[in-house]
C-alpha cells in the first residue's frame, strides 16, 4: 500500500520560507518589532498621559500648581493630580467608545459579500447553486446528498456528441431516450439552439452531414428530424419529429467551438522539454495572490477547467484571490483574467482523489487568438489509443522536490489501462472509474507538483481533445508510479450540467 500520495499542487511554492507572512495583517497591539524607529512610529495614548503628569511634578509653576511645593498642601496636591488624570482618562474613553460605536454601526449595515468556491452536484438540491453569496458550505442538505455514483439515473444531458466524429443526439424526456438527429431538414439555426443548450455561445458553430454507416450500431437505435427553425432553449424536445430511419443514411456532425487547433506543431514537467509559444494555446496558469498554484485549460471564452483539489485541499476558496493567466508560454508575464465563480464537483473525495474536477468562470470573455483558444472536450464514447499522440504540459517542478519551470514544458506520454494501473505492482485498487493513468511504467516522464489541474490531451482527426486532468501520483517520474489523471470522458455530464445551469451562458 502506498504511504505517500502527492496531489500535484505546488503548495510549497506558494508560501516559501522567506515569504510566509506576506498576507498577515500588521499587529494592532503597537508592539515594538523593528528597533528604535518603532518607538517613534507607534503612539501609546496612556503613555502620553503618564508622561504629562510626571513632567508637571518637576516644574515651578504659579497658581494652583505652586500649592504642591509645600508639604502641608500635599493631600490637596494629590487630589488635584488625580482629578487631572481622571479627566484625561475620561476623554480617551469617550473617544474610544465613540469609535467603537461607529465601527459597530458600519458592521451592522455593511456586509461585504465574499464569493467562495462551492461544491456542485448534478442534482440541483437547493433553489440556486450559484455561489456568489455562499460561504463555501455544502448547499445540499444531508438528507438529499447524492450517493457516491455517477448519477446517470438522476440526470440526462439534453444533448450528446458521440465519438470523435461528434454525432449529434438529443434526449427526449417524454420518451426517455436519445434520438440521433438526421441531417435532412437541418439548418444552421438548429446548430445555434443545440450549442446553447449545451452551454456554449460561440461565434463558431460548424455542422456537416455524417454517414451513419461508419457509426457503431449501438449508437443508432432511434432517429428524428428537426421540424422547427427556432424556439425556446428550454424546449429542445419540441424540435424533434421521430422517424424510422434517417433519409440518405446521414446524421449531423456538430462542433460548437473552434477548439483543439494548435498554431505551432511540435518537434518532442519531468523529463519534458520547453514548449513553443502557441503550441498549447488553451493552457493557463491559475494564481492565488499572484503565485502559480495549478494549471488549467480553456474550454470556452469564459470557462476554464482544472482540478478540485487545487481549491479544496488548502482551503483556497476565496474567488477574488484567484487570477487566470493565459496566452503565454512564459510563467511571467502573461495576460491576467479575473475570476467570477469557481465550482468543484460535490463528490470530490480528498482521501481517494475521486471526482477531481473543477470549473472556473472568468468575469469577462477571453479574446481568442493564435496563442489563446479552447481545447476540445472529449465526446461521449470517444476512445483514444494507448500509443496515440498524447501530451501533458505545465509549469510544474522539473524534478521531484525541485522548482517551478519559468517556461511552459511539454512531454509526450502513453495512456495506461486502468486494469494495468490497478495491479499490485503499481496502484493496487486505487484507480477508480473516474481516473486514468498516463506516462511510462519505467518512470522518467511525468507531471509533478505545480502541474495539477493542467490538461492531458490527445490528437485525433486533426483536433486536440482533453482526455484527462492532472490529479495525483506517488512522487514524480518514479518507476512503476505513473501519473494519475481525472478521466474527463466519465465526467462530461457534470461539466455540461454546470455550463447549462450557470446564470449566464458563456
Catalytic annotation present for 190: no
The rounded distance, in Å, linking the Cα atoms of 137 and 116 is: 9
Question: How far is CA 109 from its chain centroid?
Answer: 32
Catalytic annotation present for 289: no
Catalytic residue (one of 183, 190, 292, 309):
309
The strand pair at 6-7 and 463-473 is best described as antiparallel
Cell numbers for 132, please give them: 456568489
The rounded distance, in Å, linking the Cα atoms of 296 and 381 is: 23
Cell numbers for 34, please give them: 523593528
Catalytic residue (one of 452, 471, 497, 502):
452
Catalytic residue (one of 120, 354, 356, 502):
356
Cell numbers for 293, please give them: 498554484
Q: Is 88 exposed, middle or buried (0-12, 13-18, 19+ CB in 10 A)?
A: middle
- Euclidean distance between the first and the last CA atom of the chain, given in angstroms as a whole number: 44
The rounded distance, in Å, linking the Cα atoms of 301 and 85 is: 67
Across 421-436, b (16+ Cβ under 10 Å) vs e yields bbeeebbeebbbebbb
The strand pair at 455-460 and 463-473 is best described as antiparallel
**Residue 407 DSSP symbol:** B
The rounded distance, in Å, linking the Cα atoms of 364 and 506 is: 9
Q: Which helix or strand (DSSP H or E) is residue 251 part of?
A: strand 250-255
Residue reference for cell 510544474: 396
Catalytic annotation present for 419: no
Q: Is 176 exposed, middle or buried (0-12, 13-18, 19+ CB in 10 A)?
A: exposed
Other CB atoms within 10 Å distance of the CB of residue 291: 16
Please give the angle made by the CA atoms of 488, 398 and 333, to the nearest 5 degrees: 80
Distance (Å) of CA 75 to CA 69, 79, 141, 415: 11, 6, 71, 94
The rounded distance, in Å, linking the Cα atoms of 338 and 340 is: 7
The strand pair at 335-345 and 240-243 is best described as unpaired
**Residue 343 DSSP symbol:** E
* DSSP string computed for 373-400: -PPBPPPBT----TTSSEEEEES-BSST
Q: Which residues are catalytic?
A: 309, 356, 452
Amino acid at each position: 500500500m502506498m504511504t505517500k500520495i502527492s496531489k500535484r499542487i505546488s503548495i510549497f511554492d506558494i508560501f516559501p520560507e522567506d515569504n510566509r507572512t506576506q498576507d498577515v495583517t500588521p499587529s494592532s497591539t503597537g508592539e515594538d518589532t523593528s528597533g528604535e524607529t518603532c518607538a517613534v512610529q507607534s503612539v501609546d495614548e496612556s503613555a502620553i498621559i503618564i508622561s504629562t503628569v510626571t513632567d508637571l511634578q518637576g516644574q515651578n509653576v504659579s497658581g494652583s500648581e505652586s500649592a504642591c511645593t509645600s508639604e502641608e498642601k500635599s493631600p490637596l496636591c494629590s487630589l488635584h493630580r488625580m482629578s487631572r488624570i481622571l479627566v484625561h482618562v475620561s476623554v480617551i474613553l469617550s473617544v474610544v467608545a465613540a469609535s467603537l460605536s461607529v465601527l459597530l454601526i458600519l458592521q451592522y449595515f455593511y456586509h461585504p459579500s465574499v464569493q467562495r468556491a462551492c461544491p456542485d452536484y448534478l442534482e440541483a438540491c437547493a433553489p440556486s447553486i450559484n455561489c456568489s453569496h455562499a460561504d463555501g458550505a455544502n448547499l445540499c442538505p444531508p438528507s438529499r446528498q447524492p450517493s457516491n455514483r455517477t448519477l446517470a439515473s438522476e440526470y440526462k444531458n439534453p444533448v450528446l456528441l458521440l465519438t470523435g466524429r461528434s454525432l449529434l443526439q438529443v434526449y427526449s424526456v417524454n420518451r426517455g431516450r436519445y434520438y440521433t438527429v438526421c441531417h435532412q431538414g437541418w439548418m444552421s439555426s438548429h446548430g445555434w439552439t443545440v450549442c446553447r443548450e449545451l452551454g456554449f455561445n460561440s461565434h463558431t458553430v460548424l455542422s456537416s452531414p455524417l454517414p451513419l454507416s461508419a457509426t457503431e450500431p449501438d449508437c443508432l437505435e432511434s432517429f428524428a428530424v428537426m421540424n422547427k427553425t427556432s424556439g425556446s432553449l428550454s424546449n429542445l424536445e419540441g424540435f424533434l419529429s421521430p422517424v424510422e430511419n434517417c433519409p440518405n443514411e446521414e446524421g449531423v456532425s456538430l462542433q460548437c467551438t473552434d477548439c483543439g487547433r494548435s498554431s505551432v506543431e511540435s518537434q518532442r514537467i519531468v523529463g519534458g522539454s520547453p514548449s513553443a509559444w502557441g503550441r498549447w494555446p488553451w493552457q493557463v496558469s491559475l494564481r492565488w495572490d499572484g503565485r502559480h498554484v495549478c494549471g488549467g485549460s480553456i474550454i470556452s471564452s469564459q470557462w476554464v477547467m482544472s482540478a478540485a483539489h487545487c481549491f479544496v485541499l488548502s482551503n483556497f476558496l476565496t474567488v477574488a484571490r484567484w487570477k487566470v493567466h493565459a496566452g503565454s508560454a512564459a510563467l511571467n508575464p502573461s495576460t491576467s483574467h479575473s475570476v467570477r465563480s469557481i465550482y468543484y464537483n460535490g463528490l470530490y473525495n480528498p482521501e481517494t482523489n475521486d471526482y477531481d474536477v473543477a470549473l472556473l468562470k472568468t468575469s469577462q470573455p477571453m479574446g481568442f487568438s493564435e496563442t489563446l483558444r479552447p481545447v476540445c472536450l472529449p465526446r461521449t464514447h470517444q476512445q483514444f489509443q494507448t500509443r496515440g499522440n498524447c501530451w501533458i504540459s505545465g509549469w510544474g517542478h522539473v524534478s521531484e522536490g525541485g522548482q517551478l519551470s519559468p517556461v511552459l514544458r511539454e512531454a509526450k506520454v502513453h495512456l495506461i489501462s486502468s486494469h494495468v494501473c490497478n495491479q499490485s505492482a503499481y496502484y493496487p485498487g486505487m484507480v477508480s472509474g473516474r481516473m486514468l493513468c498516463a506516462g511510462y511504467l519505467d518512470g522518467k516522464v511525468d507531471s509533478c507538483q505545480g502541474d495539477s489541474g493542467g490538461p492531458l490531451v490527445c490528437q485525433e482527426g486533426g483536433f486536440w481533445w482533453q482526455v484527462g486532468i492532472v490529479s495525483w501520483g506517488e512522487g514524480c517520474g518514479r518507476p512503476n508510479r505513473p501519473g494519475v489523471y481525472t478521466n474527463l470522458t466519465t465526467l462530461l455530464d457534470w461539466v455540461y450540467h454546470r455550463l447549462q445551469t450557470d446564470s449566464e451562458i458563456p
